[in-house]
Structures are given as C-alpha cells and as structure tokens.
Amino acid sequence: MIEIDAITKRYDDITVVDTVSMIVEPRTVTVIVGTSGSGKTTLLRMINRLVEPSSGAIRLDGEDSRSIPGHELRRRIGYAIQGHGLFPHRTVAQNIATVPNLLEWPKARVDAKVEELLSLFQLDPKVFANRYPHELSGGQQQRVGVARALAAEPKVLLMDEPFGALDPIIRAKAQEDLLAIQKHFETTIVLVTHDMDEAFHLADKIAVMDKGRVLQYGPPPELVRHPANPFVQTLIGDMQRPFRLLAVSTVAGATEPGEAGGEPISEDLSLQEALAELMWSGRRAAPVISQTGEMVGRITLDALLKHAARPK
C-alpha cells in the first residue's frame, strides 16, 4: 500500500504538486492522467524520492519513505521512465540486469530473469540479449525499459508514459502483457498516461490532475457517472461517456437468461466489445459462453444500452 499524505512540491514560489493525498491499494493499477505540466511526473517521482517533497509524507506499507536511504528505496521500486532511458553502453541483457546486479543476485538467477522477461515481452533472447539499445526500434527500446523496471520483481512499479512510442497493435499487446504481469507478480502499479483509452483500460482507479492538484480519484465508472467538476468531464469526453462505461464492465455482468442465435460472445469481453459485435453482425442479441465454453445465457442490445445510460 502506498499512502500519499498531503504531499507538496514547490520550486521556488511555484507549487507544482499541491497537497495531494491518496491511497494506492496493494496489487492495483492506479493511473494518473491530466494535462501536460499538471505535475504527474513530479508526483510519481516523489514516490521513489527522485524528487524530494517540500512537505508531506509518503508511506510504503506503513513505512515512511524518508526512513529508507534513497538508493535502497529505489532498488525496491521499479521505475520505467518517460522515454526509456536505456544505458547506451550496455547490452539489452545488461540493461535489464541493472537492479538485480545492484542487489547482488547470483549470476544464474540474473540470467534466468533476463531470459524470462525478454521472452515475456516477445523479444527472442537469442536475438536481442546481446544487442545494444541503438540497435533496437523505439518500441523495442521501450519494452526493454519496462523489462528493466520489472527485473528485481518490485512490489511497486512506477511507469511514466511507458507505451508512448508504441504503435496501436504493439501498444495493446504491451497493455495486455502488463496486466498479466501485474496479476502474476501481484505488483502495485502507478502509471502516468495521456491516453484516456489506456487509462480506462488499465486502471482500477484513476487520479485526475490539474495544476498540481488531484481533482478526482476513484474507479473509472465513478469518474464517468459522477465527474467531480467540468474539467474531469471534459477530460473524459462528453461523447465518450457511454462507451467508457461499457469499456469498464464485462459481458458477465450484463448476461441474462435466454437464448439467441449466431456466433456466441465470450463473457470476459468488455461490454464495448460486445456492442461492437452486435452492431457489426446486425443482431439485437447474442448467446454468451463462459471461458470454459458453456452456454450461460444471452446479451441483448437493450441491456447494453441500459448499462451505457447516465445514472438516474
């Protein structure tokens, strides 16, 4: 758990992060969104003390972060930087091994970890392990940057626009990978992004920042249904609201008993995907199957529309 307690950062007279308090639950993904210059990076960096707060406190599992020497704190917290920041004079494998080596893991364990992560990120170890960063594409560099942040299996992972340079397909893949990794290692992730689709896709909770303040902090549907102010509403996008609601629920929650014809829909898809499927196939309802392939009921256009509607 990360407790951010009235944290403030001032540069001279300018307050770039202004008494922000929030609690990040363990094993969740918190996404920070907001306009450029709103203080997202600064807030993130105060968590691993790359930026020292002017006032306030941050506690990790109850322990005040100031009671731990900065470099030790940062070895425990993974950090994927805005614009990968790979070491140009070190191979991909050496880059990924950075923190494990600082922690003096035995070589065999380091090697195994590097290989595991490279495979996980679809980078063939035989091809990529000994390459230098400048021999990679931008997207590959970024994935190596994320792999490096994950190498020491940190319980907390900070990510600053980690997927910025990826094309839509790789980006979607990287997001899936990240969620899988997050489940697998039970990592607590705080991620900054400009992409609201990405935010709604990844987040358990979203924090909206503007001018150094957190305007709203809550689960994605709450932000859509009850935006704290016009800024949050604008950021979410008026036209996007129904679709965002559909995006954050799965078919399972809207399935009703009954039958329907045509191709079945899997219950772990999002409602948005179900809507797209119905619209595209010109149906008003479709059968729903569970992940194991059993028929569990049907999903109807009416149910979807009800889910997308503004709360009464």
Ligand X SMILES: Nc1ncnc2c1ncn2[C@@H]1O[C@H](COP(=O)(O)OP(=O)(O)OP(=O)(O)O)[C@@H](O)[C@H]1O
Which residues here bind ligand X, judged by CB under 6 A?
11, 16, 34, 36-42
Residue 126 touching another protein (CB under 8 A): no
Q: How far is the CB of 147 from another protein (least distance, A)?
A: 12
Residue 41 touching Mg ion (CB under 5 A): yes
Q: Which does 148 bind (CB under 5 to 8 A by kind): another protein, ligand X, Mg ion, none?
A: another protein
State both tokens at 153. Answer: 């299996």
Closer residue to ligand X in complex, CB, 128/200:
200
60, containing H or E segment: strand 55-60
Closer residue to ligand X in complex, CB, 42/48:
42
Q: Which does 11 bind (CB under 5 to 8 A by kind): ligand X, Mg ion, another protein, none?
A: ligand X
Residue 132 touching another protein (CB under 8 A): yes
Residue 67 touching another protein (CB under 8 A): no
Residue 17 touching another protein (CB under 8 A): no
Closer residue to ligand X in complex, CB, 26/37:
37
Q: How far is the CB of 233 from Mg ion (least distance, A)?
A: 23
Following DSSP, what letter does each residue of 169-210 receive, concatenated? Answer: HHHHHHHHHHHHHHHHHT-EEEEE-S-HHHHHHH-SEEEEEE
Pairing of strands 77-80, 156-160: parallel
| Cα 57 to Cα 5: distance, rounded to the nearest angstrom | 5
Q: How far is the CB of 79 from ligand X (least distance, A)?
A: 14
Q: How far is CA 296 from CA 85, 254, 255, 278, 293, in A?
A: 48, 11, 8, 17, 9
CB 146 within 8 Å of CB 135: no
| Cα 165 to Cα 180: distance, rounded to the nearest angstrom | 21
Nearest CA among 236, 148, 241 for reference residue 196: 236
Q: How far is the CB of 51 from another protein (least distance, A)?
A: 10
Applying CB under 5 A, the residues found at the interface with Mg ion are 41
